[in-house]
Amino acid sequence: MTCLPAHTDKKLGLVVDLDTCVGCQACVTACKGWNDQGYGAALSDQDPYGADPSGTFLNRVHSYQVTPHDGGTAKIVNFPRSCLHCEDAPCVTVCPTGASYKRSEDGIVLVNEDACIGCGLCAWACPYGAREMDAEAQVMKKCTLCVDRIYNENLPEEDREPACVRTCPTGARHFGDFADPDSTVSKLTRDRGGVPLMPQLGTKPVNRYLPPRPKDRPEEASLLAPLLDIKAQGLAGWLDRMLGKLD
Amino acid sequence: MKPAPSVILFSTLSGLGFGFLALLGLGLIATQGWPAFFHWAFGYAFAVGGLLSSTFHLGHPERAWRAFSQWRSSWLSREGVAAVATLLILAPQALSDWLGLGWGQGFGVLGAVGCAATVLCTGMIYAQLKTVPRWHHWTVPVTYIAFSLTGGLILAGSGLWAAVACLGLGGLLAYGWRIGDSAFARAGVDLASATGLSGLGRPQVFEQPHTGGNYLMREMIFTVGRRHAAKLRVIALVLAAGIPALATLVLPVLPALILGGAAHLAGAMAQRWLFFAEAEHVVGLYYGRMSGNS
């Protein structure tokens, strides 16, 4: 049923730390790798080794240059983009067949691929570009929050989190329950001022992005300043003093 | 948005068909016997042909029957239900008109309401999408209904009424385009709110996430033809409203019907192509598309 649940017991989702993401694309490949071998249709590629390669991915890492409002040095922000598992998910309600649904137990938004007619309307309804139609299977693919990992008792406990989170070498991705105020994701969101994306569209995304910490300000003294303030000693010190008197 | 030919065909043909069927249902095109048969067959052919062509863009058309199930939440599902229900409700009226069974106008009037509901649902499929600001406006469903009604009146050979409808449609199109051009800016979304980076500064695309194309870019960041938008608008306006209005006022019924009908349908297709090609999806922001200059 494509009506949204009035309440979900858990709100599982991701926190993405834009301060520590280095844009290595490991989450992209880990996601593609895991979702090629189990849940639903494999993520296909078209012309993968040819002149015009294209393929289905559930996670894309953008790269933005951000110029501070006060004109400081521009900085690069790597920005992973995937499904935000919205509380008010427009992709679910537009689905004509009931293939798209949001689980009432944990809030994960999924597609029942056997009922998907491949009309593409859910992808149109998503502001975040989280859904891609697989050109081979002709059904809609999206992030499952690795529903086949997080509850999988055949995996070691440390592997029971989404592939993108497990693989991230800088710990920029965190998985947890936003309905629990004491969870890591809730605390991170509180402490670091985690933001939702395009809140004005009313989708109530669950995932949060942690803004990069301010740095690279030329006017601010470096944290290393005390170490850099080296006083020359001995012969070098004498030379320093003598040369200083010349001008 | 990518203008899929099957969707353009579907919405123009079925819109025209349902408009014509509504007029037949209301008894505004009085026919009996075989002329009635051909009138009804004409309306059904357009409506059903359009509906069938809409399944061509589906990944799995064999599962299309499932689309009748989610009418509680989905405008696309409601459209399917309304279309089939309307075609079924109108059948007894068609039989009655053809065979002179004298069953009154009850089924016809109910079916006409169904026609209006079906076309409204078609418009709402687009108007419900906040992600495409140009579509998220009341003028969209009203324009779909206006096209349906105008097309029906032209094909019904209703002279002055058709000309009045053309005038209304033309005004509505011009207003819709004017409102639509500033819709993206009014929606208030930009790369800063799309990335949540507004506190840090002004974001710009540094590097794209992938060097090849993908589904999102092909489907929603379609930009071909926006260059010719102004010309196409004039063409759509002249063909869909101008020529049919003149034809119905000046020419005798049959030539007016053929020339006006053909021009109107061509204009409707030009308008529908623009409707998709000019519509900008907010996901384009992530790829550095800004409203109006891409």
* Interface ipTM: 0.92
Domains in chain B, number: 2
Q: Do B102 and B184 sit in the same domain of this protein? A: no
Question: Is B5 within 8 Å of B275 (Cβ atoms)?
Answer: no
Highest-pLDDT range among A71-75, B183-187, B250-254: B183-187
Is B10 within 8 Å of B53 (Cβ atoms)?
A: yes
Residues B198, B97 share a domain: no
- pLDDT confidence tier of residue A213, bands split at 50, 70 and 90: confident
- Top pLDDT among A173 and A69 is at A173
Which pair of structure tokens corresponds to residue B8?
Answer: 């353009």
Asked if B291 and B171 sit in the same domain, the reply is yes
Cβ contacts of A31 on chain B, cutoff 8 Å: none
Distance CA B163, CA B184 (A): 33
Please check whether residues B43 and B168 belong to one and the same domain: no
Is A93 a residue whose pLDDT tops 60?
Answer: yes
Using 50, 70 and 90 to split pLDDT, how confident is the model at B71? very high
Q: What is the CATH T-level fold of the domain A12-216, as seen in this structure? A: Alpha-Beta Plaits (3.30.70)
The predicted structure's pLDDT at residue A73: 84
The answer on B175 and B109 residing in a single domain is no
Q: Which residue stretches of A184-224 are H helix?
A: 184-192
Distance from CA of B279 to the nearest CA of A (A): 11
Both B169 and B292 in a single domain?
A: yes
B208: contact with A, CB 8 A cutoff: yes
Any domain includes B144:
no
B31–chain A Cβ distance below 8 A for any pair: no
Residues 6+ apart with CB under 8 A from A235: none
Q: pLDDT averaged over chain A?
A: 92
pLDDT of residue A187: 97
B29 with B91, same domain?
Answer: yes
Q: What percent of chain B has pLDDT over 70?
A: 97
Q: Do B123 and B190 sit in the same domain of this protein? A: no
B169 and B83 in one domain?
Answer: no
Q: How confident is the model at residue A223 (pLDDT cuts 50, 70, 90)?
A: low
Residues A155-174: pLDDT tens digits? 999 999 999 999 999 999 99
In one-letter notation, the amino acid at residue A13 is: G
**Residue-number span of the structural domain to which B236 is assigned:** 160-294
pLDDT of res. A215: 73
- Residue B219 touches chain A, beta carbons under 8 Å: yes
- Please indicate, yes or no, if residue B141 is contained in any of the structural domains: no
Question: Does B77 share its domain with B164?
Answer: no
Q: Do B287 and B221 meet the contact criterion of CB atoms below 8 Å apart?
A: yes
> Which of these, B266, B277, B273, lies nearest to B238 by C-alpha position?
B266
Contacting residues of B for A95, CB less than 8 Å apart: 70, 73-74
- Pair type for strands A208-210 and A12-17: parallel
Max Cα–Cα distance, chain B, nearest Å: 75
Residue B123 counted as domain residue: yes
What are the tens digits of pLDDT across the range B18-63? 999 999 999 888 788 898 999 999 999 999 988 888 888 888 988 9
Q: Are residues B10 and B98 in the same domain?
A: yes
Average pLDDT over residues B115-119: 97
| Residue among B70, B199, B212 whose CB faces A54 most closely | B212
Indicate yes or no: CB of A96 within 8 angstroms of CB of B67: yes
Q: Assign B4 a pLDDT band (cuts: 50, 70, 90).
A: confident
Write down which residue in B76, B110, B128 finishes a domain: B128
User: Closest by alpha carbon to B152, among B20, B2, B9?
Assistant: B20
